[in-house]
């Protein structure tokens, strides 16, 4: 085994609600103030580092806690979040800003103390192999913390030796470049000390250190460093792509996973978040399965998948908006729940089979006139609560996620899932290498064949279709391909927000509306489908658009150089409506504000611009 597998209990995650303070030596945990240099105490401190309190994970399709970091791939009905609604400030009480800063500094302080006490442990007779492992883990977590701090806050406090409380209250910010250089140095030390794999409990590995070094180097435009680290990870030869893209996200283990948190039904874990709450399950599951269908794919993601000829939908002759799932990249139907429209071939020729569109054993259809759907096991009909014919709050834009979801989501009272949260996988490493090489102007055909073409071949495997191979071209053309590939390959895995920031295009896409269907509803859960009895004009108009093949929207949006659709013509035509407006200040929001509590205790810390 060479992956990191972490099953997190609810108790371990109570730190998500921690207050804003430095909290360098919490009395309830092993700390530097009562250090005895035993294996038990070192492991206690290091094991705490594997809590999501200290690891900068980004959320995937689990926005209840991770909502502030949603990118352009996930939408929660009509809601916006701090990071793209103009409300981000130094006092926002969310873990991704106010608590993230002190938590990461707690991690740094604790790991530095572990490193400084290893000689005591050695003198006390601790085996050298354990000392090497513990030191490697500590350097790994320091690298993670400083990489994340530098990306989101810019210049930050740089502590390399273990600052006292007095120093913490007076230390000025160091330059971002200096902090990043130290982060890379920490990852290098970790990679040199950590094993490639473990037998038994999985922890930080050499591959993880190299992969995260590449991520933070890419995030911060250090492309040569990113490329070198990604290639070193690739050359280890221990990771490979999962055979099936869709099955990767519901599989218990995979050689593609480098760092992930295992869901556990019995512990009521949903990905890495173990709250004992079932709201995340309900928010994502379709309503016909007992969920609420709150979180779903965006229209922008829906439009980003290319056609099977490799061309975007505004260029390909294969695209027909009346049957938008036809002739599309297979990853689309593995990520977004597919449905048949009035213009799907099997509907037109009368061969439609509900089993072809079954999800978790029930036919899926957002058809606003379809009052019932088929239960595949016995052919019985049940109320179609994923349609406006039955439920006013059915998916607001008609789209739902398939990626990550399996039958375990309905087990144990809808309060746990066996699905894993994957924060780093080999597919991401391949994309990082391709992008870094392209930005360096050295993306050859060989590089593409080692990276993006492998991902596309995997996506098309078993379909009987030849995958659209990417051919080396100009840096600008390949940049479009790579950014689109990241958007669709990593959809709902929690990376898109950071990608938009580092590409400096957040100001463009986050100053556009969130769109959805009209809030039309038949008005009765007992409606029999007779349109002559409906008085709701919006619902009648929605049904008409379905019959005309303009669902979820008509026409063909223009796809820009970043693979992102302009949906305003669809709104102008009345097919979709504005739910709410995003807002992003280009002169402020690319960096997060320093938490106000830290500004109060350290007069040498200055706030980021325009906060």
Q: Could you give the angle at the alpha carbon of 452 between the alpha carbons of 446 and 453, nearest 5°?
A: 70
Partnered with residue 76 across adjacent β-strands are 79, 295
Residues contacting 379, CB < 8 A, separation 6+: none
- CA atoms of 244 and 231, how far apart (whole Å): 23
Of 325, 329, 363, nearest in space to 344 by CA: 325
Of 16, 5, 19, nearest in space to 274 by CA: 16
pLDDT at 86: 85
- CA atoms of 131 and 101, how far apart (whole Å): 28
* Residue pair 408/417 in contact by the 8 Å Cβ criterion: yes
- CA atoms of 583 and 511, how far apart (whole Å): 5
pLDDT at 15: 30
Which of the residues in the chain have pLDDT under 50?
1-34, 36, 60-68, 93, 270-276
| Ranges of each domain in the chain | 4-262+590-601
Q: If DSSP codes are grouped into helix, strand and coil, which group holds residue 149?
A: helix
Q: Which CATH number fits domain 4-262+590-601: 1.25.40.390, 3.20.20.10, 3.30.450.20, 1.50.40.10?
A: 1.25.40.390
pLDDT at 35: 56
Q: If DSSP codes are grouped into helix, strand and coil, which group holds residue 16?
A: helix
* Residue pair 517/398 in contact by the 8 Å Cβ criterion: yes
DSSP 354: G
Of 385, 365, 389, 348, nearest in space to 530 by CA: 389
Residue 571, Cα to own-chain centre: how many angstroms? Answer: 27
DSSP 156: B
**Which pLDDT tens digit goes with each residue over 437-472?**
999 999 999 999 999 999 999 999 999 999 999 999
């Amino acid at each position: 085994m060479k992956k990191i597998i972490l099953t997190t209990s609810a108790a371990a995650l109570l730190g998500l609600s921690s207050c804003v303070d430095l909290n360098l030596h919490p009395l309830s945990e092993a700390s530097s103030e009562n250090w005895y240099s035993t294996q038990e105490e070192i492991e206690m401190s290091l094991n705490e580092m594997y809590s999501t309190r200290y690891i900068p994970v980004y959320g995937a399709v689990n926005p209840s806690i991770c909502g502030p970091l949603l990118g352009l791939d996930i939408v929660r009905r009509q809601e916006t979040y701090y990071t793209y609604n103009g409300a981000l400030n130094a006092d926002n009480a969310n873990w991704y800003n106010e608590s993230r800063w002190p938590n990461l500094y707690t991690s740094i302080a604790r790991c530095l103390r572990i490193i400084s006490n290893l000689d005591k442990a050695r003198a006390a007779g601790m085996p050298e192999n354990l000392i090497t492992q513990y030191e490697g883990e500590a350097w790994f977590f320091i690298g993670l913390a400083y990489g994340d701090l530098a990306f989101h806050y810019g210049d930050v406090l740089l502590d390399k030796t273990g600052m006292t409380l007095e120093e913490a209250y007076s230390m000025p910010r160091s330059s971002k470049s200096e902090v990043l250089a130290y982060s890379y140095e920490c990852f290098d030390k970790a990679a040199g000390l950590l094993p490639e794999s473990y037998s038994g409990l999985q922890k930080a590995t050499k591959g993880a250190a190299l992969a995260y070094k590449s991520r933070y180097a890419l995030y911060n435009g250090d492309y040569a460093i990113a490329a070198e680290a990604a290639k070193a990870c690739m050359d280890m030869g221990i990771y490979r792509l999962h055979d099936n893209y869709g099955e990767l996200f519901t599989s218990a283990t995979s050689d593609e996973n480098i760092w992930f948190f295992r869901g556990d039904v019995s512990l009521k874990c949903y990905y890495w978040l173990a709250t004992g709450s079932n709201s995340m399950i309900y928010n994502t599951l379709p309503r016909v399965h007992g969920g609420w269908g709150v979180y779903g794919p965006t229209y922008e993601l829906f439009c980003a998948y290319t056609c099977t000829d490799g061309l975007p939908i505004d260029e390909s002759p294969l695209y027909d908006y009346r049957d938008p799932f036809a002739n599309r990249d297979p990853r689309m139907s593995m990520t977004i729940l597919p449905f048949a429209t009035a213009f799907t071939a099997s509907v037109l020729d009368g061969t439609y089979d509900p089993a072809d569109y079954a999800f978790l054993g029930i036919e899926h259809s957002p058809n606003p006139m379809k009052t019932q759907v088929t239960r595949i096991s016995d052919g019985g009909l049940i109320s179609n609560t994923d349609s406006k014919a039955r439920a006013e709050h059915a998916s607001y834009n008609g789209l739902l996620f398939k990626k990550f979801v399996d039958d375990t989501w309905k087990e144990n009272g809808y309060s746990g899932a066996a699905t894993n949260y994957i924060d780093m996988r080999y597919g991401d490493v391949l994309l990082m290498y391709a992008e870094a090489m392209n930005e360096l102007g050295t993306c050859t055909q060989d590089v593409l064949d080692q990276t993006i073409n492998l991902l596309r071949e995997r996506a098309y495997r078993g379909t009987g279709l030849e995958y659209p191979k990417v051919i080396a071209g100009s840096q600008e053309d390949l940049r479009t391909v790579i950014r689109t590939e990241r958007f669709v390959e990593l959809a709902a895995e929690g990376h898109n927000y950071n990608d938009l920031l580092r590409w400096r295009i957040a100001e463009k896409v986050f100053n556009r509306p969130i769109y959805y269907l009209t809030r039309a509803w038949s008005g009765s859960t007992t409606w029999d489908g007779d349109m002559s009895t409906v008085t709701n004009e919006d619902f009648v108009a929605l049904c008409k658009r379905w019959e005309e093949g303009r669902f979820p929207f008509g026409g063909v949006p223009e796809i820009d150089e970043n693979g992102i659709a302009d949906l305003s013509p669809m709104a102008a035509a009345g097919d979709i409506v504005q739910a709410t407006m995003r807002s992003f200040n280009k002169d402020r929001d690319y960096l997060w504000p320093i938490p106000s509590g830290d500004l109060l205790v350290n007069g040498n810390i200055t706030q980021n611009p325009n906060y």
